């Protein structure tokens, strides 16, 4: 579509980028370009202000506690308020693992330190301690009548509040807390998930859902055209096969 652009704020690209989370940005870019949609991305590091009205989508990846501590501080001082404002205005957000945890009320580390979140999502995360099992491995989630597949590696257990839904149901793996079968969270146009991978290249349907959600705020009823996803669909199917095989052994 002529004149159409997806404007993305990539939060903390240097600090919050493990297991190839930046691949999500490259995937968004590629899928937009394939449709003639311009793609603009601003990397916002510690101290950089977030101007909510400048963006259609905010992305944040995962990281370990050390980076999360710095990010939590920045959120409280600089970005949490405009982020909540953006969400109120229906800006889309995709937050992965450590970034997802920091969308909530707080993340309590293995040592019991409480890192404040941006409070975009009504959820909290507790790491039960260094001796507790880490949730590591491939994960398959039932989402919207199809599957989303990825890799998870977290010690934190996330618990959702009442007004918020999980992104999907765990088919294989652990998800939010290894207990209630939920994975990730959805609220307004915010998607939180534990899935690395990178997530979007392996899940083209979910990637397009995120792009459409982001663009529909300014372009009502916008629909993406189909593109050839033969390679992506094959990668998705192979990842699902591998993840479900491993869960049987477990
Ligand atoms: N530090 C968090 C945890 O272990 C997040 C880890 C991650 O982003 N992979 O729960």
Which tens digits make up the pLDDT trace of 159-200? 999 989 999 999 999 999 999 999 999 999 999 999 998 999
Query: Ligand 1 atom 5: the closest Cα is on which residue?
Result: 98
Whole-prediction pTM: 0.96
Task: Kindly list the structural domains of the chain, giving each domain's residue range(s) and its CATH number in brackets, ordered by start.
Answer: 5-249 (3.40.50.880)
**So what's the pLDDT on residue 53?**
84
Q: Which atom of ligand 1 is nearest to the CA of 97?
A: 8
- Can you tell me whether residue 42 is helix, strand or coil? strand
Beta carbons within 8 Å of 234's beta carbon, 6+ residues apart: none
Instruction: Judge whether 196 counts as a catalytic residue.
Output: yes
Q: Which regions in the chain score pLDDT beneath 50? A: 250
**So what's the pLDDT on residue 246?**
53
Largest Cα separation within the chain, whole Å, is 55
The structure tokens 């920045």 sit at 74
- Can you tell me whether residue 140 is helix, strand or coil? strand
**Among the options 124, 127, 154, 196, which is catalytic?**
196
Instruction: Judge whether 154 counts as a catalytic residue.
Output: no
Structure tokens that stand for 132 in this block: 């507790």
- Cβ(182) – ligand 1 distance below 6 Å: no
- Cβ(98) – ligand 1 distance below 6 Å: yes
**So what's the pLDDT on residue 20?**
86
**So what's the pLDDT on residue 3?**
81
């Amino acid at each position: 579509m002529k004149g159409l652009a997806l404007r993305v704020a990539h939060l903390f690209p240097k600090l919050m980028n493990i297991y190839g989370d930046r691949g999500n940005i490259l995937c968004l870019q590629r899928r937009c370009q394939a449709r003639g949609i311009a793609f603009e991305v601003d990397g916002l590091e510690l101290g950089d202000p977030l101007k909510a009205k400048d963006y259609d989508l905010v992305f944040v990846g995962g990281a370990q506690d050390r980076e999360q501590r710095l990010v939590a501080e920045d959120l409280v001082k600089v970005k949490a308020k405009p982020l909540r404002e953006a969400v109120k205005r229906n800006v889309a957000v995709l937050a992965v693992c450590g970034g997802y945890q920091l969308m909530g009320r707080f993340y309590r580390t293995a040592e019991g330190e409480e890192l404040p979140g941006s409070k975009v999502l009504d959820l909290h995360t507790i790491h039960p301690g260094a001796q507790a099992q880490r949730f590591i491995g491939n994960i398959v989630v039932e989402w919207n009548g199809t599957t989303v597949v990825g890799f998870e590696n977290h010690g934190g257990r996330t618990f959702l509040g009442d007004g918020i839904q999980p992104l999907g149901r765990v088919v294989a793996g652990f998800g939010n807390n290894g207990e209630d079968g939920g994975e990730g969270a959805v609220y307004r146009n915010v998607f939180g998930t534990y899935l690395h991978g990178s997530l979007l290249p392996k899940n083209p349907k979910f990637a397009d859902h995120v792009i459409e959600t982001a663009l529909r705020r300014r372009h009502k009823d916008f629909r993406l055209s189909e593109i050839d996803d033969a390679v992506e669909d094959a990668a998705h199917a192979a990842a699902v096969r591998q993840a479900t095989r491993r869960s049987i052994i477990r």
